[in-house]
Amino acid sequence: MKRFIFYCLMALSLMMFACSNKTSTPVLTPHEGFVQVKGGKIWYRVWGTGEGVPIVMIHGGPGFTSYYLTPLADSLSKERTVIVFDQLGCGRSDQLTDTSLMNMQAHVDQVSALLKALKIETFDLYGHSFGTMLATDFYLQHPENIRSIVLASPCLRVANWISDADTLMMQLPPNVATVLQNFRKGDKQDSLELANALTLYYNSFYNRKQPLSPYVDSSLRLQSLQVYRHMWGPEEFVANGNLKDYNRMPDLSTIKVPVLFTTGQYDAARPSTVKSYQQLVKGAVFEEIPDAGHSTMTDHIEADLKVLRAFWKKL
């Protein structure tokens, strides 16, 4: 009897010791909220059951809002915890008029504030379009808790993006390409002719699936054009904002976590350019989403989800 009591006490002691030394990871329950950052409050939403390593998703733009990521987040949250947020100035976050906060460092700080507020430790980072620029810069400053990175339709050197836009324009009818190039030069254009040229350009390389998804429509309606124009420019193929010299190609070789690069078959982030990025990251994976433009998550969500799940499953 004494020996039995002794072994019971030993077992209890070992259990208490193990519990006291186990790192406490908070369970994230589904909810929405706001986090205070410099310049205002950013809106966020936690999806899912709180199981697994959470996915932190960063939307494009700058200033485009996270609405268009809803199809991805909704589907993935049935298996994982997913966190989305609207960057300051757009969507459900506070509006932003202070141009001193319209820069990359302020956006990196927003991500840091969100992770701190939610007490997120290990996580998978997903960025799309401008979100890949922000995800890359965040990793370069804060690599410690990131398990993996998805760079979807990436822009990692703005000069490449503009060069690719020239290539894409040449695939359109000559009169349309001329209108777009003249707009870039600042030449006056017939408003209807310009509107038609822009529609054809974006329908060919950005949102091929028509009519527009209501999620893309909501992002367009609640985007911050002030943030977009200050940081990027007037249109996707004209970059004259403070990101115009952005280039992280020299830093890609320093990434030490698994990376997945994705792009649409007809993406503004051209597959050949995205492959050139992938080749700079040791062990990185490249996947092309067929029949999709820049909005792979609305143009061909089934294929998009398939490559994402396959990548994360290997982790």
Task: Round to whole Å and give the CA distance between 79 and 74.
Answer: 10
Q: Are 104 and 243 in contact (CB under 8 A)?
A: yes
One-letter amino acid for residue 9 of the chain = L
**Marked catalytic residue, from 294, 295, 299, 300:** 294
Tokens of 78: 């049935």
Catalytic residue among 124, 164, 267, 299: 267
**Residues whose CB is less than 8 angstroms from the CB of residue 24 and which lie 6 or more positions away in sequence, other chains included:** none
User: Cα(86)–Cα(119) distance, rounded to whole angstroms?
Assistant: 18
The residue to which tokens 């390389």 are assigned: 205
Q: Burial level of 265, CB count in 10 A (0-12/13-18/19+)?
A: middle
- Quote the strand ranges of the chain, DSSP E: 31-37, 40-47, 55-58, 82-85, 123-128, 146-152, 259-264, 285-289
With 0-12 CB in 10 A as exposed, 13-18 as middle and 19+ as buried, what is 15?
exposed
263 in Cβ contact with 153 (< 8 Å): yes
In the residue annotation, 190 being an active-site residue is answered as no
From the list 75, 93, 129, 295, the catalytic residue is 129
Residue 74 is among the residues annotated as catalytic for this protein: no
The partner residues of 146 in beta bridges, in order of sequence, read 123
Show which residues are catalytic.
Answer: 129, 267, 294
